[in-house]
Each structure stands twice: as structure tokens, then as C-alpha cells.
Amino acid sequence: MKKLMLILITIHFSLLTNHSFSQPCFPEGIAFTSQSQINNFQTLYPDCTEIEGNVAIYGSSISNLNGLSVLTSIGGFLMIGTIDQNMGNPLLTGLEGLGNLTLIGDGLTISKNRALVSLQGLNNLNFIGGQLDIQKNISLITLEGLEALTHVEEELDIWDNMALISLNGLENLIEFSGYLFIYGNNSLASLSGLDNITSTETLTIGLNISLASISALGNLSTVGGNLSIYDNWALSTLSGLENLTSIGEDLKINNIDALINLNALSNLSEVGGGIYISDNDALINLEGLENITSIPGDLSIGLIQGRGSYEKSVGNPSLLSLSGLNNLIAVGGNLTIIDNAVLQSLSGLENLTSIAGSLTIGTYAGYKTYFCLGNPSLKNLDGLNNLASVGGDFNLHCNDSLKSMAGLESLTSIAGNLTIGEYIDNSWGTLHAGNPQLTSLSGLENIEANSIVNLQIIENFSLTNCEVQSICDYLAAPNGTIEIHDNAPGCNSPLEVIEACDSITSVRELSFEDTFAISPNPIRSTALIEYPLHQSSPVTLQILDISGRVIETLADEQQQAGNQTVAFDATGLKPGVYFCVLKTSEGIQTKKIIKL
């Protein structure tokens, strides 16, 4: 009987002991700020193996985590070092005391531990329910120690670890589709360790100045958000992205000095946002993008970075052509082509038919001192031959070698401003941002004049021929403001262009059997305006000044067929040149009026 009682007592004690080693504790979390707190943890809390809340470990005296060896899980965050404050663990060289930890319910942050050289000690960690953030550990060489990790629920951020040479240790990470951010790791030469990643929410690879290869991404097929690769100056190829087929948002490839081509993107067929390619010194074409047929967002080949006095140009100085975009049909945002020094034509855009936003070919930037960001070698606009519509502004600035608008003959609509050249003169400096060799606007003749809002043609010193049909029609019935000046004679003012337009017979005017008359003309006070209507029609009759501003509306109504007469009292007008514009269902006619 005594023997039986002894056995029962032993079993009962054993059950109590085993239960005590799996006790949850600290739902409110706990912070360790000294080595003594860590050393005394098991003595003070002998039953605590599963911390329910957050755990923070930071302090100048902490050199090891051995006192935490009983921990098997943490329900909240584990922070080894801090993010917001400059408080890490300067003496901590390893994480061996965390060897029994298998699960972290939220995130794991390892930050600002300047003596930490490896992650050995986390060898049994399998699951992280939030993000894994490894940052600013200046002595960390490798991620070895994370080999048991298979699941990270949210972000994987690895940044500003100056000595990190590889991502080895993450080879078994297979359940990951969150944000992947690899930035500012100066010694990182490859992405070895990410070999099993098949999809991410976003992928950012930036400012890893020794990164020469991203081939470890060979299994990556989808990026749900943005793909940004920038400031990796040793990267000469994107090899490793051959299996990438879709990007949910933007593709950004910027400031990769050694990058010579985009061939690794040859299977990319879907981009849900924009494409931004700028400041890639060695890139000569865009081959590799042949499977892209539409871009819902912007297409930017060269752009402006910074704000105010920090603005700078970031074009592609070796880009010779846009070949690679040959199957592109539509751009859903803006098309911007700026600061590409040797680009001579827009060949490669032959299938582009529509731009929903603005078209900008060359621009300018600056805050106090302005500077041009054109395409100085661009000679014509061939390549845009099938472009039919622009849904925003059409801006053409700072293209030093551009001689004609040839290539735009299919363009029929601009739902914004037409701006050819710019001039800025203020207390900080002067900028001449025109197209100095442009001689003619031939190529723009098929644009519907009523689709243009404001018209600006300035600082094109060789431009003599502006009297193309669309410009003449706009001057006859402008929708907004007109600025025409500082061009060559013949196109140096609205009056010069209007006089040149008199020699062009409008196709729409041919439907008139008679012209309307103004008598007397020149006038001193009043005149009669007479015109025939061959059928009932809405009629607008307006007087405009030389800048295109409406001075007076004489008629805006439905009128019956027959000869019409309207009196015009000009006694209040200053002497000068004015225009009488008649719009009917048969077309538009313009008469010049001289006020004495």
C-alpha cells in the first residue's frame, strides 16, 4: 500500500511539473533592459514558457540571452533592439538563448545590435505571424540560424545591414506572399536564400551597391503590388526574373548604372500600374517588354526626381531606341519621354494608338535656377504614326534637334493644352525651353481644333510655318488662351499666323457658297455683319481680340434659313485688329476687322 501511494504521488508530481513548464504568462508583455533581468527570469518566473504579449530586449549590458532558454513561444512581437529609439544591444553577439523558440505570433524585429554576427540560436523558429524585420545590425554577416523558418505572414524587411553578404538561412521560407524589402545592405552580392519565393505582395530591391545578381529569384512568378529595383549599381542584368508574368501595380527600374538590357522580363505580360524607367546609364533599348500590350498607368522614360531646389534630371543617357515597346497599344496614364541624351527617334511605339493622360516629350525643371530636360538628339516624332488621341496636355520642350512634327499625322484629338516651347524669366534666372530647330508644325494638321484647350507656341527660334489646319481653326475659334511669340517671322504672333492662315482653304469652309460680309471695314463706330444660312442652324457670332479673348457675343441662338444681318457697335473698342468668328452647322468662317 505504501508502495502504491508512492507511485501515485510520483505521477501527480510529474504531471504538475510537466504542466508548469507550459504555462502562458505576461499577457501584457515584458521588457528586458539589463543582463540581470535575463539571468533571473527563470528564477523569478519558473513556470513561464509561453509569453502571451510582446517581448522587448534592449540594453547596454545585455551580452547573452541564455536566461530565456525556456521560452517556446511569444504571442505578440519579439523586439531584439528597438526601431524608433537609438537603443540596441551593443554587446550581444548571438541569440543562442532562444533555441527553444518555435513560434512568434506577431512580428520579429532584430535592430541596432552592432556586435551581432549571426542569427544562430533561432534554429527552431518555424512561424512568424507578422513581419520579420532585420535592420541596422552593422556586423551581421549571414542570416544562418533561420533555416527552420518556413512561414512569415507579412513583411520581410532586410535593410541597412552593412556587412551582410547573403540571405542564406531563408532557403526554407516557402509560405510567404507579403512585402519583400531588401535595401541598403552594402556588402550583399546576391539574393541567395530567396530561391523558394514564388510570389510577393511588393518587391523592393534598392541601394545594395554590391549586388551583382538577383538570379535567386528564379521561381518568382507574380508580384501583387509594386516591383521596384533601383540604385543597385553593380547589377548588369535582371536575370532571375524570367518566370515573372505579372505585376499588380508599378514597375520601377531606376538608377542601375550597369544595367544593359531588360531581356529577363520577356515573359512579363501584365502590369497593373505604370512603368518607370530612368537614370540607367548603360541601358540602350527596352527589349524585353515585348509582351506588354497595355499600361493602365503612366509610362515614363526618364523623369524628374526631387522637389524644389533638389530637383534633378534622371534620364537614360545611352538609350538609342524604344524598341521593346513594339506591341504597346494603349497607355492609361501619362506618357513622358525626357532627358534621354542620344535618343534620335520614337521608333518602337508604332502600335500605340491612345494615351489617356498627357504626352510630354522634353520638359524643364528647377526651383530658382531652371534647366532643360529635353531629348537633345531627337530629330522627329516618327514612331507615333498611329497615335490617334491624347487625353490630356501635349507638351513639347527642350528638344534641341527636333526639326518637324512629322509622325503625328494620325493624331486627331488633344483633350488639354497644346504647348510647344516655354520661356521663364524671373529674379532667379531665365530659361529658353523651346525647340530651336523646329521649322514647321506640319504633322499637327489633323487635330480637331475644338479638342485643344489653351495654345502656346513660344521660344522656337526657327519656326516659321505655323499655319497648319488645326492651328488655323483654333485661332478662328479658340477655346482658351493663346500665346504665340519669340518664334521666327511668320509665326511670331497670333496676327502673323492668322494672316498666313488666310492662304489656306478650310475643307469645312467649302460648304459655304457665299462668304459673310462686314461693312464698312475698316470701321470707326458701327458696322453691319451679313451672312447667308442655307438651312436652319445653331449660330454663334463672336468678336475676338488678337489674343483670342472673346470681346462680345453678337449671336448665340437657333436661326432660320435665309440672309441674316447683325449690327455691331465698335465705338467702345480700342483701335487695332479684331476677328469676327461665325460658327454654324455648315462650318466656321473668320473675318478680320480693323478698328480705326
Same domain for 478 and 536, yes or no, is no
- What is the extent of the structural domain holding 250? 174-273
Same domain for 266 and 329, yes or no, is no
Instruction: Give pLDDT, residue 219.
Output: 96
Instruction: Give pLDDT, residue 313.
Output: 55
Q: What is the pTM of this model?
A: 0.82
Given a contact cutoff of 8 angstroms between Cβ atoms, the answer to whether 133 and 154 are in contact is no
Instruction: Give pLDDT, residue 14.
Output: 35
Q: Which of 273, 303, 334 is the last residue of a domain?
A: 273
Given a contact cutoff of 8 angstroms between Cβ atoms, the answer to whether 282 and 261 are in contact is no
Helix (H) or strand (E) holding 37: helix 35-39
Q: Cα–Cα distances in Å, from 226 out to 178, 196, 202, 274? A: 12, 20, 5, 9
Three-state DSSP class for 220? Answer: coil
Is 70 inside a domain boundary? yes
* Spatial strand order in the sheet of 23-25: 23-25, 48-51, 73-74, 103-104, 127-128, 151-152
What's the angle, vertex CA 542, arms to CA 537 and CA 546, rounded to 5?
145
Is 162 inside a domain boundary? no
Q: What per-residue string of b and e applies to 272-307 under the rule 16 or more CB within 10 Å gives b? A: bbbbbbbbbbebebbbbbbebeebebbbbbbbbeee
The three state secondary structure string of 114-125 is CCCCCCCCCCCC
Same domain for 304 and 390, yes or no, is yes
**Burial of residue 2, with CB atoms counted within 10 A of its CB: 0-12 exposed, 13-18 middle, 19 or more buried:** exposed
Same domain for 66 and 27, yes or no, is yes
Same domain for 200 and 141, yes or no, is no
End-to-end Cα separation, the chain, in angstroms: 135
Please, which residues have CB within 8 angstroms of residue 306's CB and are 6 or more apart in sequence?
Answer: 312
Is 160 inside a domain boundary? no
Is 433 inside a domain boundary? yes
Is 286 inside a domain boundary? no
Is 143 inside a domain boundary? yes
Distance of CA 61 to the CA centre of its chain: 46
Same domain for 388 and 371, yes or no, is yes
Grid cell listed for 226: 509594386
Is 560 inside a domain boundary? yes
Grid cell listed for 380: 522627329
Same domain for 452 and 500, yes or no, is yes
Same domain for 259 and 332, yes or no, is no
Instruction: Give pLDDT, residue 309.
Output: 42
What's the angle, vertex CA 403, arms to CA 397 and CA 407, rounded to 5?
90
Is 51 inside a domain boundary? yes
- Strand pairing category for 537-544 and 576-584: antiparallel
Instruction: Give pLDDT, residue 16.
Output: 35
Sort residue 334 into left (φ over 0), alpha (ψ -120 to 50) or beta.
beta
Sort residue 585 into left (φ over 0), alpha (ψ -120 to 50) or beta.
alpha
Rounded-to-integer distance, Cα 111 and Cα 136, Å? 6
Instruction: Give pLDDT, residue 501.
Output: 86
Q: What is the pLDDT along the chain (596 residues), one digit of tens a residue?
A: 333 333 333 333 333 333 344 579 999 999 999 999 999 999 999 999 999 999 999 999 999 999 999 999 999 999 999 876 677 899 999 999 999 999 999 999 999 999 999 999 999 999 999 999 999 999 999 999 999 999 999 999 999 999 999 999 999 998 888 899 999 999 999 999 999 999 999 999 999 999 999 999 999 999 999 999 999 999 999 999 999 999 999 999 999 999 999 999 999 999 999 999 999 999 999 999 999 999 999 999 997 655 444 445 578 999 999 999 999 999 999 999 999 999 999 999 999 999 999 999 999 877 767 788 899 999 999 999 999 999 999 999 999 999 999 999 999 999 999 999 998 876 666 788 999 999 999 999 999 999 999 999 999 999 999 999 899 989 988 889 999 999 999 999 998 998 888 765 433 343 344 568 899 988 989 999 999 988 888 999 998 876 677 889 999 999 998 889 999 999 888 887 788 888 888 777 888 888 87
Instruction: Give pLDDT, residue 385.
Output: 94
Closest of 360, 366, 302, 299 to residue 328, by C-alpha: 299
Q: Which of 484, 504, 524 is the last residue of a domain?
A: 504
Sequence letter at residue 225: G
- In the chain, the number of structural domains is 4
Same domain for 574 and 547, yes or no, is yes
Closest of 349, 345, 350, 375 to residue 360, by C-alpha: 375
| CATH number where 69 lies | 3.80.20
Q: Which of 215, 244, 273 is the last residue of a domain?
A: 273
Please, which residues have CB within 8 angstroms of residue 434's CB and are 6 or more apart in sequence?
Answer: 397, 398, 420, 421, 422, 423, 458, 459, 460, 461, 486, 487
Please, which residues have CB within 8 angstroms of residue 478's CB and are 6 or more apart in sequence?
Answer: 455, 544, 548
Torsions phi, psi for 474 (to 5 deg): -65, -45
Same domain for 295 and 426, yes or no, is yes
Instruction: Give pLDDT, residue 514.
Output: 52
The three state secondary structure string of 342-370 is CCCCCCCCCCCCEECCCEEECEEEECCCE
Bond into 522 cis (ω within 30) = yes
Same domain for 334 and 479, yes or no, is yes
Sequence letter at residue 78: L
Instruction: Give pLDDT, residue 312.
Output: 54
Closest of 323, 320, 330 to residue 386, by C-alpha: 330
Same domain for 126 and 207, yes or no, is no
Q: Cα–Cα distances in Å, from 259 out to 213, 218, 284, 292? A: 11, 18, 9, 20
| CATH number where 555 lies | 2.60.40.1930
